[in-house]
C-alpha cells in the first residue's frame, strides 16, 4: 500500500484539504495575464512562479480547467518527429513528463507503452524510415520494424494480406507513452496556485487593451484588469483571440474527434497508430479503448460529433483488430484543433509588444504541454526567445522558413 493512501485513509480530517483554490476576486493588476486555462497556460503559469519567481500571475478561462483540448485529446506522448527542431523540442517535453508526477506531487499516470505507427504502403514505409533515421541521429529511440518483427511485437495485429490495406511494417518508438490528461492540468493548476498564481475559471477574456503597440490590460467578463505582459494559449480559438489583439494567424480551426469503449480487461498495451487508415488506439488504465481518427474534412468552430467519423473509424479499427467486433463504444466527442500550414506550432513573439503566443498546436498539443510551459515561462520572464522554440516563430510564414512536420503528423489531415 502506498504511504500516501495510508496517511489519507487514516486521517480523520474532514473536509479534506483543498487542492484547487476557490476562484478569487479579480485584482486590478497582474504582472502576467495568461489567456487559456488548459495545460499549456497552466504549465506556463506554474513555471513562471516555480522557476522564475514571477508569482503575480492570473490565468483566465471562459470555461473550466483543462476543458478544451487538454481534456479532449487522446493523451499520447511521443518525440519521433521529422524535423530536428521538432525532435529536440518533443524530447525535452518527454524528459519533463517523466519527472512530472514527482515535480507536481500529483500522479499524472505517465506510462510508457511503446508507440507503433503502421505503414500500409511503400511510401509510408519510406516516411517511417525517414523519421527513424532523423530520430536516431538525434538520439531518439526509434526504429523501422518490418512485418515479421511487428507481428512478434504486436501479436494481436491483423497481418493478413486479405484486407484492404495490408500492414507492411511500422515505425516503432519504444518510449511512446500515455498520461492522464486531466491530471496534467490539475497538477499544474494546484501547484501554481500554491505559489500564488490566481486561476479565474468561467472568466472570459473579451478584449485586449493595447497602447503604443504594447499590451497593457485585458477586458474580461468580470471586469478589466491591467497587466504587464500577456500570453494566449487557447488552441482552437487562437485565431479569434489573436484578432482581439489585432493580428491574424495562418491557422485554420478544424474539429478532431475521438471516442472510448466501455472498460475492458486490459489486453492492448502499446499505442497503435495508422496514418493511412486514420486510426489511433490505446487502452487506458481504466480499461477503456481510447480511439481517434482524422480531423474533420472542413474547418469549423464547433465541437459537435458526427456519425460519419464513428463509422469510418470503426471500419478501419476492425481491419486492424477484427476481434473487436463486439466491443461496445461508450462515448464520442470532439475538440477544435488549430492547424498551421506546416504542421508545426506557432510560439513566441507577436506584433504586439509583451504579448506572447502559444498556438498552432493542431493535433499534437498535449504531448508538448510541459515544454511549452517551461519555454513560454522563460520567454515571458526573461524577454528572450529560448533556443528550443526559435524556429516556431510566427514570422516564419512571411519568410518562407516553414518546418515540414506533415510527414510526422500522426494521422491524416
Partner 1 sequence: MMTRLPEPAGLLLDRTEQVSFRFEGRQFQGYRGDTVASALAANDVSVLSRSFKYHRPRGIHSLSGLDANTLVQVGPAPNRFADREPLVPDLEVTGQNYWGTLRHDRLAVFGLLHRFFPVGFYYKAFYKPRWTWPLWAKMIRRIAGLGTVDTNAPHGYFDKQYLFCDVLVVGGGAAGLAAASQAAAAGAEVILVDENAALGGGLLYGRADAGGIRAEEERARLVGDVEGSDRISVMTETACLGRYADNWLPLVRGNRLYKLRTKALVVATGSLEQPLVFRNNDLPGVMLSSAAQRLIKLYGVKPGRRAVVATADDEGYGAALDLLDAGVEVAAVVDLRMDAPRTAMGDTLAARRVPVHAASAPWEAVAQRKGAGVARVRVARIEEDGVCAPSVDSFSCDLLVVSGGHAPAAALLRQAGAIFTYDSDRHATTVAELPSDVFAAGDVAGTSGLDAAMADGRRTGWQAAQAAGLDVGPEPAAPAEEEPAAAQAAWPIFAHPDHKAFVDLDEDVQVHDLEDAIAEGYDHVELLKRFTTNGMGPSQGRHSSLNAVRILARAKSRSVDETGVTTVRQPIVPVTMGHLAGRSFEPVRYTAMHFRHLEAGATMMPAGLWLRPEFYGDKARRQALIGEEAKNVRDNVGIIDVSTLGGLDVRGPDAAEFMNRMYTFAYLKQPVGRSRYVLMTDLGGVVVDDGVACRMHEDHFYVTATTSGVDNVYREMLWYNAQWRLKVDVTNVTAALAGVNIAGPNCRPVLETLCDDVDLSPEGFPYMGVREGHVAGIPTIFLRVGFVGELGYELHVPASQGEALWDALMEAGKNHGIRPFGVEAQRLLRLEKGHILIGQDTDGLTTPHEADMAWALAKKKPFHVGIRSVRMQAAKGLTRKLVGFEMPGVGVEQPKECHLVIRGGEITGRVTSVAYSPNLDKIVGLAYVAPDQSEPGTKIEIRVDGARMVNATVAKIPFFDPDGARQEL
Closest to partner 1 by CB, 171 vs 234, is 171
**Using CB under 8 A, which of the segments 41-49, 231-239, 327-335, 368-376 binds partner 1?**
327-335
Q: How many CB atoms lie within 10 A of CB 265?
A: 6
Among 29, 55, 107, 195, binds partner 1 (CB under 8 A): 107
Q: Determine the Cα–Cα distance for residues 413 and 407; give it in Å rounded to an integer.
A: 11
**111 forms part of the interface with partner 1 (CB under 8 A):** yes
Cβ(202)–Cβ(24) below 8 Å: no
By the rule CB under 8 A, 285 interacts with partner 1: yes
Residues 6+ apart with CB under 8 A from 25: none
* Residue 131 beta carbon to partner 1: minimum distance, rounded to whole angstroms: 8
236: contact with partner 1 by CB under 8 A = no
Task: Check binding of 134 to partner 1 (CB under 8 A).
Answer: yes
* Of the residues 27, 51, 95, 136, which one makes contact with partner 1 according to CB under 8 A: 136
Q: Furthest-apart CA pair in the chain: how many Å? A: 67
CA atoms of 273 and 125, how far apart (whole Å): 14
Could you give the string, one character per residue 26-45, with x where binding to partner 1 holds by CB under 8 A and - elsewhere? --------------------
Judged by DSSP in three states, 145 sits in: strand
In sequence order, the β-bridge partners of residue 253 are: 338
Within 360-399, which residues bind partner 1 (CB under 8 A)? 399
How many residues bind to partner 1 according to rule CB under 8 A? 100
In contact, 218 and 76? CB cutoff 8 Å: no
Sites for partner 1 among residues 66-95 (CB under 8 A): 67, 71, 84
- Find the shortest distance in angstroms from Cβ 5 to partner 1: 5
Give the sheet arrangement for strand 111-112, strand by strand.
76-77, 177-178, 111-112
Taking residues 248 to 277 in sequence order and writing x for each that binds partner 1 by CB under 8 A, - otherwise, the string is -------------xxxxxxx----------
Task: Name the region of 223 (left: φ>0; alpha: ψ -120 to 50; beta: rest).
Answer: left
From the list 73, 79, 125, 81, the residue with the least C-alpha distance to 409 is 81
Grid coordinates standing for 358?
A: 502559444
Looking at the Cβ atoms of 73 and 354, the one nearer to partner 1 is 73
Residue whose CB is less far from partner 1, 307 or 384: 307
Identify which of 294, 280, 255, 302 has the alpha carbon closest to the alpha carbon of residue 412: 294
Q: How far is the CB of 193 from partner 1 (least distance, A)?
A: 9
Helix (H) or strand (E) holding 77: strand 76-77
Tell which positions 154-193 bind partner 1, by CB under 8 A: 156, 164-165, 180, 182-183, 186-187, 190
Q: Which stretch binds partner 1 (CB under 8 A): 224-232, 311-319, 352-360, 388-396?
A: 311-319
Tell me the window of 43-51, 99-107, 355-363, 370-378 that interacts with partner 1 (CB under 8 A).
99-107
Q: Is there binding between residue 243 and partner 1 (CB under 8 A)?
A: no
One residue of 198, 342, 358, 391 binding partner 1 per CB under 8 A: 342
Per CB under 8 A, 349 contacts partner 1: no
Q: Quick one: which segment of 46-54, 110-118, 213-221, 368-376 binds partner 1 (CB under 8 A)? A: 110-118
With b meaning 16 or more CB within 10 Å and e meaning fewer, what string describes 368-407?
bbbbbbbbbbbbbbeeebbebbebbbbebbeeeebbebeb
Under the binding rule (CB under 8 A), the answer on residue 328 touching partner 1 is yes
Site residues (CB under 8 A) for partner 1, limited to 47-66: 63-65
Q: Per CB under 8 A, does 15 bind partner 1?
A: yes
Q: Cβ of residue 380: shortest distance to partner 1, in angstroms?
A: 26
Which three cell numbers, joined as nine digits, stand for 228? 504587464
DSSP letter for 71, please: G
Taking the complex as a whole, the smallest distance from the CB of residue 112 to partner 1 amounts, in Å, to 7
Question: Is residue 324 close enough to count as binding partner 1 by CB under 8 A?
Answer: yes
Give dist(CA 156, CA 293) in Å, integer: 20
Amino acid at each position: 500500500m502506498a504511504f500516501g493512501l495510508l496517511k489519507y485513509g487514516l486521517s480523520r480530517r474532514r473536509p479534506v484539504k483543498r487542492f484547487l483554490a476557490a476562484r478569487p476576486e479579480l485584482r486590478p493588476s497582474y504582472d502576467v495575464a495568461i489567456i487559456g486555462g488548459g495545460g499549456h497556460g497552466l504549465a506556463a503559469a506554474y513555471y513562471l512562479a516555480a522557476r522564475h519567481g514571477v508569482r503575480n500571475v492570473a490565468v483566465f478561462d471562459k470555461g473550466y480547467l483543462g476543458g478544451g483540448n487538454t481534456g479532449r485529446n487522446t493523451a499520447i506522448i511521443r518525440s519521433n518527429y521529422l524535423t530536428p527542431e521538432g525532435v529536440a523540442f518533443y524530447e525535452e517535453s518527454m524528459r519533463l513528463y517523466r519527472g512530472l508526477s514527482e515535480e507536481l506531487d500529483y500522479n499524472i499516470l505517465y506510462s510508457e507503452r511503446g508507440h507503433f505507427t503502421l505503414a500500409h504502403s511503400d511510401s509510408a514505409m519510406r516516411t517511417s524510415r525517414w523519421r527513424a533515421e532523423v530520430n536516431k541521429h538525434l538520439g531518439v529511440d526509434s526504429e523501422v520494424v518490418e512485418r515479421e518483427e511487428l507481428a512478434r511485437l504486436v501479436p494481436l495485429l491483423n497481418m493478413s494480406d486479405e484486407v484492404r490495406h495490408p500492414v507492411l511494417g511500422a515505425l516503432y518508438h519504444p518510449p511512446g507513452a500515455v498520461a492522464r490528461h486531466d491530471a496534467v492540468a490539475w497538477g499544474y493548476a494546484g501547484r501554481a496556485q500554491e505559489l500564488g498564481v490566481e486561476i479565474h475559471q468561467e472568466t472570459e477574456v473579451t478584449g485586449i487593451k493595447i497602447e503604443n503597440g504594447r499590451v497593457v490590460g485585458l477586458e474580461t467578463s468580470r471586469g478589466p484588469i491591467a497587466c504587464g505582459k500577456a500570453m494566449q494559449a487557447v488552441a482552437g480559438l487562437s485565431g479569434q483571440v489573436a484578432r482581439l489583439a489585432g493580428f491574424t494567424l495562418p491557422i485554420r480551426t478544424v474539429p478532431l474527434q475521438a471516442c472510448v469503449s466501455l472498460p475492458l480487461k486490459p489486453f492492448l498495451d502499446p499505442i497503435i497508430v495508422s496514418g493511412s487508415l486514420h486510426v489511433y488506439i490505446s487502452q487506458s488504465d481504466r480499461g477503456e479503448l481510447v480511439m481517434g481518427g482524422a480531423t474533420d474534412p472542413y474547418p469549423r468552430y464547433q465541437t459537435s460529433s458526427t456519425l460519419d467519423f464513428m463509422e469510418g473509424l470503426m471500419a478501419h479499427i476492425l481491419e486492424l483488430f477484427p476481434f473487436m467486433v463486439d466491443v461496445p463504444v461508450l462515448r464520442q466527442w470532439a475538440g477544435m484543433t488549430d492547424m498551421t500550414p506546416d504542421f508545426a506550432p506557432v510560439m513566441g513573439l507577436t506584433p504586439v509588444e509583451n504579448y506572447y503566443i502559444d498556438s498552432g498546436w493542431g493535433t499534437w498539443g498535449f504531448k508538448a504541454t510541459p515544454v511549452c510551459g517551461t519555454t513560454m515561462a522563460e520567454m515571458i520572464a526573461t524577454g528572450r526567445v529560448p533556443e528550443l522554440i526559435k524556429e516556431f516563430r510566427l514570422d516564419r510564414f512571411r519568410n518562407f522558413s516553414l518546418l515540414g512536420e506533415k510527414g510526422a503528423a500522426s494521422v491524416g489531415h
